[in-house]
Chains A and B, each alone.
Chain A
Amino acid sequence: MLNDKILGTKSFRRNIPQDTSCPRTFQENLFVPKITFMNTSVVSKSISLPKVLVLTGYGINCEEETAKAFELSGGLPTIVHINDLIENPRMLDDYQIMAFPGGFSYADDTGSGNALANKIKNNIEKEILDFAKQDKLIIGICNGFQILTNLGLVPAKENKYGQRQAVLMHNAHARYECRWIKLKNTSQKCVWTRNIDTIHCPIAHGEGNFYAEKEVIDSLIKNDQIAFKYIKDDNSPANQEFPFNPNGAMLDIAGICDESGRIFGLMPHPERFNSFTNENGWTLEKEKLLREGKELPTLGKGLQVFKNAIEYFTK
């Protein structure tokens, strides 16, 4: 079969959870990814669409909606268990994009994202670093961001991939926080935040308090690596004020990229804003639109993050 040498015949993989009653094989997925979403029907054009490896296992738990967000944005996601990746790391060659979804890998034991990063370092560090250095894209969302920082894929000052340079610490109020916040894109460089100025996004984490030493922060600023900052409703800086900055992060940092702008880690969950009806306060927006006689949108604005990644390869 076409993919056997890439996938390894033993490698069991899951597909996007569109229809779990009849799981499509990866091969089928490759050719006819017909996606029906609300009233929109998107049929992908060709085999050349970017392929996305969405990692799962050991408590990662946002893999399905992350895969769905890539799918809705025109990508070809495959959910891969980390043990399968460890067994066959060469499958990475087949992918243009890698996603570390949110979740609770190893229950945050020994530090959030630390144990899963250890698992990667202990088994496939070289292959992941190789992937990071190529002209490919990586995103780490929430727990995925914590994993990326522990792996040293962001901020990777001076291209020192593999060196831990920042940390996401316990929230300033030391409690898990789930709410919607507002973000401002402050980077020209970051591939993932293109075409976004400000955006609402949900956060849900206990350890999102971004910290790095001064020289790292200085270099983040100098190299245009701060991609998302928390802001207030009126778009002014959150200035670490709760709840606008929900965790006390330095400089209101919500997301950073590496020096190339290809590798992106962020605490907020853009994949949870996949539909119009996800957004906090959408019912008010709905009433406004209805009274103005306008149609309701279907998709959520968070998908722009994923579209940017797909367009990096297709445009």
Chain B
Amino acid sequence: MAHRIEVITHVNDTRSEVMRKNLVSEGFKIETAKVLEVYTINKNFNSEEIKKIAEILSNSISQRFKSNEPFKDIDFDFALEIGFLPGVTDNIATTAKESIEEFTKHKFIEEESVHSSTLIFLKGKITEEDTKKIGNILANKLIQRISVKDKTSFEKDDGMGLSIPKVHLSSEIEITKVDLNISEEELLKLGKEGILNHDGTRRGPLALEKDYLYAIKEYFEKEGRSPTDIELESLAQTWSEHCKHTIFAAEIDDGERTARARASEESSSASSERREPIDKDGLYKGYIKKATIDIRNKKGKDDFCVSVFSDNSGAIIFDENYLITDKAETHNSPSALDPFGGAITGIVGVNRDTIGFGKGAKPVLNKYGFCVGLPDDEEPIYRDKDLKEASLAPKRIFEGVIAGVNAGGNQSGIPTPQGFSYFHKDYKGKPLIFVGTVGLIPKMINGQPSHEKSAHNGDKIVMIGGRVGQDGIHGATFSSETLSAGSPATAVQIGDPITQKKFSDAIIKEARELDLYNSITDDGAGGLSSSVAEMAKECGGCQVNLETVPLKYPNLEPWKIWISESQERMTLSIPEEKLQKFMDLMKRRGVEATVIGTFTDSGRCIIKYKGEKIMDISMDFLHNGLPKKTLHTTYTKTERKEKTIPEPENLTNTLLELLKNPNIASTEFIPRQYDHGVQGGAVLGPLHGKGRVMSPASVTKPMIETTKGAVCSQGLYPKYSEIDTYDMAACSIDTAVRNSIAIGGKLSHMALMDNFCWCSSNEPERLGELKAAAKACYDYAVIYETPYISGKDSMFNDFNGFDKNGNAMKISAPPTLLISSLSVMDDVTKAVSLDTKFAGDLVYVLGETREELAGSEYFPEGKNVPKVDAISAKKLYEKVEEAILKNLITSSLSPSHGGLAATFAKKAIAGQLGMEIDLSEISREKDLQRNDFILFSETQSRFVVTIDPKKKEEFEKLFESESFACVGQVLDSNKFTIKGVNGEIVVDTNIKTLEENYKFTFKNY
């Protein structure tokens, strides 16, 4: 018999109070809300035992409980219960079950279970309809279920009743053969909608295009049989845009190469010797990777790259004994449907890209980037024509992804010192959720280079971590498609950071040094189908027995086991003689580990299920069988007219309004809820100065005992894409580089990562924009000598849906390139924060200001988007670096979104000291005389620094060959004034007012 335990908090119940406040702010007339924890225990216990169990699951000081009966002393009108849908990971229940098992010394058997839920008693002027609405706000219908009772029926039924969410799958497991001798129309439908079920429904997108389908058809014709469902699903995963990056791999515009390019190609035998991108190698190999190769060749003995583009993360030298790794991912599609789940599995997933680097790196810091729709946009949009499936509003997505990274990062014990939020109306349909992790690994482990690994013939295939369920089926193929009504709900996943923390510790901190495995990789997109098949490349084959894979619930079909993206899993390759020791260690660490097969050198990927061979594909076809695409691009730039606006009379108000722009305003509430001090190496985190201003760069010491610091920064300018994606990419790169320089980063030891998030990438125009951006990636990285070490692309960030009137609509995310920089500084005590520090210090602007307002936060019209002169910028950056090392710079921040005006204001707010600026002094292009343009232009490659007046001479001498000027000073008052080019005061305000405006927009978040 099942039992129900309800736990109520009777002192300081802040959660209930916050719930009430939130519901009131959503417009519900709630007088009281009372939140209870509920445990449903599906196992036989007597009433004495269940009471004891309730005691250990509650707190005797602050809580009371009831077992198998409801509380009778709660005043309410409606009761609302939120629990999980069957099969959804329930972490609280897992913990409760473990506590109960250890307490009672009785293990639960397979049919027995624990489930957690939340019960909310609401009192107020609300209806049953309102309560359901509240349920839909609090719960996510894709993973949770709600039930509502009014007081009368609650009392009549004596409570909410028992409900056990168990998955019941048909026990008839069938391997379907898929006939490919069908019409082209049917074949295309198979690719688009998936394998046909008996009942006429389809299994969900394979995302296989026509030429891929024909290649598969041809292969199986040669094999003399039809493929099984698992073979087709497996190929679809392996060949997906998400896994193979088919667009970045495709030859681009071949045959249209310039005569010059062709001539130089012919004149040079080794293509790597030419310093320019190569179209026929595609955007990845010919542009991004080519930049890295060219830079490494040029740097010669100063090359600091160790492992680039070949592993789950990229790695560079940290110091003589350690490597530092970096990786950034996106989790856009899952986050659109379930922001919390999408973001938590995103961050915990990219942690595995660190753990899965080489023999296993330790995650030392997390990064985030949230690109979402405008937070006040509440106009509904729908995924379906019947207007039943509404997309989540941008604000809800924003709050959900923040909470997801909070849970994932905080629970994993990894600091999150670095991140940003960016808002644009066209992220409404599909948000871009970036997550990144930096890792640390000794160069040598057990006498072997740590970045090298290889599965050996005869090694056991071992899966560790979570169990496999239906969650995340078709994640890889789904994210390769646009978001629409057909998007599978099973693509949603729930994270379980503690399960991962347990195996992460067991691997990185123990098994790695004990040399217990030959290779390791992450089970990410595509699940086992991807991880096992990838590792099998290292030895030449594999054989897997799928019935050995531990499942969340019985009777999961083999093809689902193989491609499921159930989270928190990794695959290892373990030599037979070390297996017992490895399995023992995992058991002692509470980590589930299972042998699921053997790596072979057979040249085949073979899968058996209960003895029957259900997949047998050649490794070569699996990995290299996909036809290479050739993409054709066009890039027609629309002729933009230089528009203008009259110069505002009152620039004070303009500045104050600009500080409220969500892309400039403080989102301090995010870093405040992200642990940025764990691991003890925080140096300069997300907030600087007494005024707590958001910093675009961070410094972290990944090892407490050394002075070396990891400097991270990020740059992106989605608004510039509309004007010119080449310049957009150039500005993103320049920003990531110069933010790092501003805080103390070292240009000669700096690596980059590219995260392309494009839209409609099957359209030649979009591909043309992409190619231009990739060209900038090549050009600028080569000049700065900052190699790309890893990257990722997400090519279809489009939303195909309906507006509130049922009209079809498409929202494409603006072509977005996130550039992340990772630099190693030798001595963190040299780091410079952005806050002004002493009255009397001089304010300098380094670099020339130009009239480049197009795409800016101030006046996005026009055509002059900022252009980057990297050659002169590089000279300036080297000088700034030198000045910082000589302790000449007291505070530093580089202008980006919002230009000089936002930069002056942020520095003053951070230092809580006044400032006076004279615009006439600012070094600028000849004709630039408008105060607003000088203040708000987003010209790149500039810095605003303050210095000790005693160091004026030394400082100015160092910069004498650069464009720079002393433009004002830090004041011993709270006044903030800016003098215009003609000597008139154009901004006159104070620190308090600036701060109030800067912190206004998100103050209630």
Contact = CB atoms under 8 A, between A and B. Distances in A.
Given A81-B588, A109-B92, A169 B442 contact: no
A269 B501 contact: no
Contacts of A150: 59
A239 interface: no
Contact of B95 (A110, A179, A248, A277): A110
B505 A56 contact: yes
B153 interface: no
Given A61-B413, A107-B91, A115-B99, A283 B61 contact: no
Contacts of B502: 57-59
Interface stretch (B12-20, B144-152, B308-316, B486-494): B12-20
B705 A281 contact: no
Interface string B696-712: 00000101111100000
B103 A122 contact: yes
Contact of A284 (B61, B92, B99, B835): B835
B510 A178 contact: no
A21 B441 CA distance: 8
Given A118-B99, A209-B14, A281-B689, A23 B413 contact: no
Contacts of B56: 110, 114, 118
A83 interface: yes
Interface in A77-111: 81, 83-84, 87, 102-104, 106-107, 109-111
Contact of B501 (A61, A69, A204): A61
Interface string A152-177: 00000000000011110111111111
B61 A59 contact: no
Contacts of B810: none
Given A56-B505, A177-B672, A291-B948, A169 B705 contact: no
B61 A213 contact: yes
A84 B588 contact: yes
B588 A12 contact: yes
A35 B704 CA distance: 11
B829 A176 contact: no
Contacts of B876: none
A188 B684 CA distance: 35
A170 B15 contact: yes
B98 interface: yes
A65 B679 contact: yes
B675 interface: yes
A221 interface: no
A171 B18 CA distance: 11
Contacts of A123: 102
Bin the interface of chain A by size: 35 or more
Contact of A115 (B14, B95, B679): B95
A36 B838 CA distance: 35
State the main secondary structure of chain A at its contact with B: mixed
B95 A107 contact: yes
Given A211-B61, A275-B704, A277-B829, A283 B14 contact: no
A20 interface: yes
Nearest to B683: A277
B12 A269 contact: no
A212 interface: yes
Contacts, number: 226
A61 B362 CA distance: 12
Nearest to B101: A122
Contacts of A69: 680
Contacts of B718: none
Contacts of B832: 283
A25 B555 CA distance: 46
B118 interface: no
B14 A248 contact: yes
A106 B672 contact: no
A173 B322 CA distance: 41
Contact of B510 (A12, A274, A277): A12
Interface string B822-857: 000000110111010110000000000000000000
B24 to A, nearest CB: 15
A23 B673 contact: no
B657 to A, nearest CB: 28
B226 interface: no
Nearest to B699: A277
Interface in B402-431: 406, 410-413
A280 B64 CA distance: 40
Nearest to A79: B509
14 contacts: A12-B588, A21-B450, A65-B704, A68-B705, A87-B588, A109-B95, A114-B59, A115-B96, A167-B61, A176-B675, A178-B671, A204-B676, A248-B12, A283-B835
Given A21-B443, A36-B705, 15 more contacts: A57-B505, A58-B502, A61-B412, A102-B678, A111-B57, A119-B98, A122-B99, A123-B102, A178-B674, A204-B678, A276-B829, A284-B833, A287-B890, A287-B948, A296-B829
Interface of B: 9, 11-12, 14-15, 17-18, 56-63, 91-92, 94-96, 98-99, 102-103, 321-322, 362, 406, 410-413, 442-445, 450, 497-498, 501-502, 505, 509-510, 513, 585, 588-590, 671-684, 688-690, 701, 703-707, 828-829, 831-833, 835, 837-838, 887, 890-891, 948, 950
The list of the 5 closest CB pairs from A to B, nearest first, reads A61-B413, A21-B442, A65-B680, A109-B95, A174-B18
